[in-house]
Amino acid sequence: MISFNVGALRPANGAARPDYMSFANDLVRQTLARHGLAGDVEALPNGPAPHTMPLLEEMMARLHSPGPLSRALMPELPEGAEFVSDHFECEAGSRRFMTYIPSTAAEGVSGIVLMLHGCTQTPEDFSVGTGMNALAEEHRFVVIYPHQSRGDNAQSCWNWFSRGDQRRDRGEPAILAGLTRQAMERYGVSREETFVAGLSAGAAMALILGETYPDVFAGVGAHSGLPYGAARDVPSAFAAMAGQEGNFTTPRSDTTPPPTIVFHGTADSLVHPSNGDRIARQVTDRAARETIITEESGTAGGRAFARTVTMRDDRTILLEQWQIDGLGHAWSGGNAAGSHTDPAGPDASAEMIRFFFETTAGAH
């Protein structure tokens, strides 16, 4: 989940490339092993030499191509539920996406959650790892999983670090907001019932959508992500991931981001935990001067956590920040059958849905 766009990285200076390749080698080893392809792990060179790139790309292609692996990840659907593939196209471009329609939708759709996967992941993988479809069954919401193809980013990352993909009515934000609006119309869902969440690069893009399309999304969930405007190109993206402050793009002061829930592990070695704090500051810095902050700590799923809630003086929620002790770069409380998950810790999916539908939607 560390790498971005292979083609964009090749012109980088020689000092940057070895770090990238080392991260990529480790990532592929871990991912292949997680999916039972341990035999391929030994084929990876130990060193970060540039000639390893074709091998990495070939393995990623195998991992993402339709076949036994993808089918094995998908559990049997409840009777009456649908998990269907679709395609959206607009002037800014096009993307494939999966939509989970719960069997309980016959009683009325309660909302929409747009789920943005991290690098090297697929919609199917992400749905299994987060367990979001089971929550959709329980709460009657529709889940949309857009797919970032390897043609648009060599490692299937959302291009959160690209200037052209950080603005309204351009690039990936326009595509993702467009397919969300289409679903809102199809299922009769209002803005107050529409939310976006993501992991890593997906979390960074979710925050971009919250900034650029607050008229579409009523709440944002960011897990192991980076703040809006944290990077303008690949080198600055790596710097931001390492925890360097850099020159952030400052959000407009006359806008208020949607209520945001943030998860980050204290042991995240790929996206430095300080990024979770920076996301929180971006949200609260534009709030009214008078805010109420509550803090609590506890243990869930075998991991200690600290939870901070920031409210306006009228008690409406601005921010909920979770810091998970010992969690790495993985979805907290996730299903081990999916990639980049950790079964230990608070259930990030359940907490996000609570935040969206009880706190955020209830405030309108």
pLDDT digits (tens, 9 = 90+) for 275-293: 999 999 999 988 767 789 9
- Taking the CB of residue 12, how many other CB atoms lie within 10 A of it? 15
Enter the tokens of residue 222: 């960011």
Task: Flag whether 308 is in a domain.
Answer: yes
Task: Flag whether 186 is in a domain.
Answer: yes
Task: Flag whether 363 is in a domain.
Answer: no
Residues 58 and 168 in one domain: no
Residues 52 and 72 in one domain: no
Residues 49 and 84 in one domain: no
Residues 135 and 276 in one domain: yes
The pTM of the full predicted model, rounded to 2 decimals, is 0.80
SS3 306: strand
Least confident span in 51-65, 114-128, 131-145, 203-217: 51-65
Residues 198 and 99 in one domain: yes
Name the residue among 244, 246, 247, 248 with its Cα closest to residue 271.
Answer: 244
Looking at residue 63, its pLDDT comes to 37
Residues 35 and 131 in one domain: no
**Gyration radius of the chain's alpha carbons:** 19
Residues 242 and 171 in one domain: yes
Give the torsion sign (CA, 168, 170, 171, 177): positive
Residues 187 and 164 in one domain: yes
Looking at residue 360, its pLDDT comes to 64
CA neighbours closer than 13 Å in the CB half-sphere of residue 332: 32
Give the torsion sign (CA, 55, 58, 62, 63): positive
DSSP letter at 360 equals I
Residue of higher predicted confidence among 247 and 260? 260
| 237-240 contacts, C-beta under 8 A, 24 or more apart | 237/4, 237/160, 237/161, 238/16, 238/19, 238/20, 240/161, 240/275
Domain that holds residue 162: 68-358
Residues 212 and 255 in one domain: yes
- Taking the CB of residue 272, how many other CB atoms lie within 10 A of it? 17
CA 25 to chain centre: 22
Rounded to a whole number of angstroms, the distance between the first and last alpha carbons of the chain is: 36
Highest mean pLDDT among 66-80, 135-149, 243-257: 135-149
Name the residue among 215, 253, 246 with its Cα closest to residue 229.
Answer: 246
